[in-house]
Chains A and B, each alone.
Chain A
Amino acid sequence: MLEVNNVTKKFKSSFFNKKMFTAVDNVSFHINEGESFGIIGESGSGKSTIGKMIINLYTPNEGEIKINGKNIIKNKFTKTLEFKKQVQMIFQEPDGVFDPKWKIKKSMLEPYNIHTKLSHDEKMKKIIHWLEIVGLSKEHLDRYPFELSGGQLQRLSFARVLMLEPKLIIADEPTSSLDVSVQAQVLTLMREIQQRLNLTILYVTHDLYLARQMCDRIAVMQKGKFVEQGRSDEVFDNPKEDYTKRLINAQLPPDMSSKEKTAV
């Protein structure tokens, strides 16, 4: 489904300085259809940059990215609505997704207005259907974003992405702004919908427990490079690289072992 081959992305480090900063360094991976793949790393490791390259917000300096066999770099296809409908992204902060001056209804209608030619009633029917799936209801449509909680907004942004029935979703830290119980709700929902629609999902996260629960395979990223890649339970139970071990060790589980870990 998705193939990323030897991709490198460099940024200018400053306006006056010609020196380049390499955010992503020769990274290759693939994701099969219906699979979920996780990229794990600390902030600044370049994991979000990969997501943004796949959705074509950045153009890589080297390498190729193929979706269903089609190279998407410098390809006019990526400017078409069809591409945008197929590949969707869920952002970390839901606040940025919704226009603060628009009622939720208008924000939710927008994707259908652009991508479909349905009548208004059909659109509303579909929107309400998706709202129910994410555990919200019709009454939320007449509110403004500031009247809803972070969890509700994030679920709305999930609905907004899912209602176009994309093939590939890039979820960039989708639940880092949510509470544990809401996070569990949103993620089990994701898992259900993924199975029903045979979705391919790329998770970008720093939470290893979460990656283990949600991903079939994971890659651990450090300073722009993949240090380890494999089945998520294997990487978790038998980490080979020191960096992976360090990340796993830094996790604080909800039991008494956390106390020992942080003892001074």
Chain B
Amino acid sequence: MRLIEGRNLKVYFDSDAGKVHAVDNVNFHIDEGENLVFIGETGSGKTVLGMTIMRLLPTNVYYEGELYFKDKNLIKATEKEMEGLRGRELAIIMQNPLTALNPCMSIKKHLVQVLQKHKGMDKKSASDRAAEILVETGIPEDQIDYYAHQLSGGLRQRALIALGLACDSEILIADEPTKGLDVTVQLQVVKLLRKISDNKKKAMFIITHDLGVAAALADRIAIMYCGRILESGTVKEIFESPFHPYTKGLIAAHPSRGLNPIQGYSASLVNLPEGCVFCPRCDHATAKCRESEPEEFDLTETHKVRCYLAGS
């Protein structure tokens, strides 16, 4: 079953410098039990996309297009309807655990609150369930009453994951779940997320710029650049037969692949180049690329790419 589907989704912000095209003409979908990973650099619009699903963006935002959760258009949903969905049906793991957790509240209390509000549990059973979830995500039993600052980075991240799991929502959005963690701790967190997606058949929307984490967690991958999805496909397709010059460049820039940089810097979202957004940095750019933006071409049923190289 299709859980989330974006059709020609556009998200704009009003700013002093002009309209910021944070997300532009994006099509994507997540099916039940599927992990979709968005890879992109800072400023490519991947976090904005995650926040759009939760409808947590500031008030200077404009939406166009459609974004469905099951059969509800989230963009048209009222604030009241969203309140019913947030936490219960749509859960998010925020980027920075230190700012996402309340410093004056123990991590167990966070969960108890969520359970009481969304599941209508009484204090006692909520407290029991909270402890259960925390231990399940790998927080030592004697530390569940700790405050955020008392926990190590890895455990803090686990606490946030536990919060995301609290209401057993069908979809879990994880925004940079391994940011700032050491390699060994990162591996533990990725394993935990794998366990959740494999055992609970939860659909996940993961945002990251770490290609290794993406390879470990994804069923499908979407590569974002300047608010657009330049390439999308299964993990295998993206890593074993990348098509778009940007995807190839990203993989070649990884330290394990020789640290070869892509020339130039990514364009400002206020002042995008004419034609294909990647063409100023692309070795294969032709006159056509500079004139008009390529449509999506299908390479296989799952592998889609926005590049004229695929059309010719």
Asked if A109 is at the interface of the complex by the 8 Å CB criterion, the answer is no
Q: Which residues of B contact A (CB under 8 A)?
A: 41-43, 153, 180, 182-187, 190-191, 194-195, 198-199, 209-217, 235-236, 239-240, 249-251, 253-262, 265
| Bound Cα distance from A256 to B217, whole angstroms | 10
Query: Of A27-35, A193-201, A244-252, which binds chain B?
Result: A244-252
In the complex, number of A-B residue pairs with CB atoms less than 8 Å apart: 124
Interface pair A180/B250, CB less than 8 Å apart: yes
Q: Which residues of A contact B (CB under 8 A)?
A: 42-43, 135, 149-151, 176, 179-185, 187-188, 206-210, 212-214, 246-247, 250-259, 261-264
Main secondary structure of the interface of B (DSSP, over half): helix
Give chain B nearest CB distance to A38 CB in angstroms.
Answer: 12
Cross-chain contact of B42 among A149, A246, A262 (Cβ < 8 A): A149
Give chain B nearest CB distance to A203 CB in angstroms.
Answer: 12
| Bound Cα distance from A187 to B250, whole angstroms | 15
Interface pair A213/B255, CB less than 8 Å apart: yes
| Bound Cα distance from A246 to B185, whole angstroms | 12
Q: Which of B153, B185, B255 has the most CB of A within 10 A?
A: B255
Give chain B nearest CB distance to A155 CB in angstroms.
Answer: 10
Give chain A nearest CB distance to B196 CB in angstroms.
Answer: 9
Give chain B nearest CB distance to A183 CB in angstroms.
Answer: 7
Interface pair A255/B240, CB less than 8 Å apart: yes
Interface pair B262/A251, CB less than 8 Å apart: no
Give chain A nearest CB distance to B73 CB in angstroms.
Answer: 33
Interface pair A150/B42, CB less than 8 Å apart: yes
| Bound Cα distance from A208 to B235, whole angstroms | 24
Closest to A260 in B: B216
| Bound Cα distance from A133 to B209, whole angstroms | 26
Interface pair A180/B215, CB less than 8 Å apart: no
Interface pair A263/B194, CB less than 8 Å apart: yes
Interface pair B216/A251, CB less than 8 Å apart: no
- Which B residues are in CB contact (< 8 Å) with A183? 253, 255, 259
| Bound Cα distance from A152 to B43, whole angstroms | 12
Q: List 11 A-B contacts (CB under 8 A).
A: A180-B250, A180-B254, A181-B253, A184-B259, A188-B259, A188-B261, A251-B256, A252-B187, A252-B210, A253-B215, A254-B257
